[in-house]
A and B are shown apart, each in its own frame.
Chain A
Amino acid sequence: MNNFKKSLTTFLSLFIILSVDAQEATNADIMRSNGKIYVVVAIIVTILTGLFLYVASIDRKLTRLEKEQIKK
């Protein structure tokens, strides 16, 4: 759980840094080029990463329960 929280916080802070960056940047930066499609890509990658982290955390919880079950 601690590992999961840590990775989530790291991940979220990464996006705060990115968003601060975006406010300061001019119109010529990469996020605003190509019809701003990179914004959509960033959102989809965020959702995908979040979902995978969530599924992985459920996976870890199940593994722990299974190990406890074997010990009994």
Chain B
Amino acid sequence: MYYKTKPYRIFSIFNYTFLAVLSILCIIPLIHILAISFSGKAPANANLVGLLPVDFNLEAYAKTLDNENFLKSLWVAVQRTTLGTLISMVVVVLAAYPLSKENSAFRRRNFYTWFFVFTMLFNGGLIPFYILIQNLNMMNTLWVLILPSAVNVWNMILMLNFFRRVPRELEEAATIDGAGHVRTLISVYLPVSLPAIATLSLFAMVFHWNSWFDGLIFMTDHKNYPLATFLQTVIVQQDFSKVSARPEDLENISQRTVKAAQIFIGMAPILFVYPLLQRFFVKGIVIGAVKE
């Protein structure tokens, strides 16, 4: 076995060390934010917190969870992410299947593909889009957060590339059995494409979880903001050159610890989902299992 050879062992030692260091480098900022969220206000505002909390306390979390807007926006985000991912994946997978066919099998595929790819680059900008949403009466609805982004062309192209790797023999067997396209997609393509589907679902999920601008512009009521939009409000620094700042107000804006706690709580769900999806693309079991 290759992994018992000496050069490979040396490589392994290096590899483990390197990846461990890399992981630490990636986690440091998060630990820093976590430390701030558990710190006292004064040291946090003066940037005296490193990787360990100073004046440890849980006040920031209590304040965050006490804010009803936070919980509301969390709920909007959950709805948006679940529904948005689902709809987007259905639309994308449905379209990617025919587009993964060869020209000879589906002549219009080239036209369709370019039709979609074109929209990756060209768009009319915010103004006509805003007018459109208004005319569709979609202002302040969950749909405005879901439908416009449902056709994720990037995901579609990746999906069609993954579909192309499905062994042709499987499809032909299904065709001979008299299966239609939809059945072929569901019973042949989907099971062998689970890693891809898990990956692209993750992309869609992360996209929905992190998007904040559409919520800000199209939700006419701040109660309907998804979490990412809500968090933006908290993180952005206010410019005092324009407002009559009074010392009484300033208490509210200087809550660096609360900001840190909210960032962390905002990230938590998506971190939690990751390991669940991870098993689909860490192990190369899927195709092997089908092949048997």
Decide whether A and B are members of one complex. no
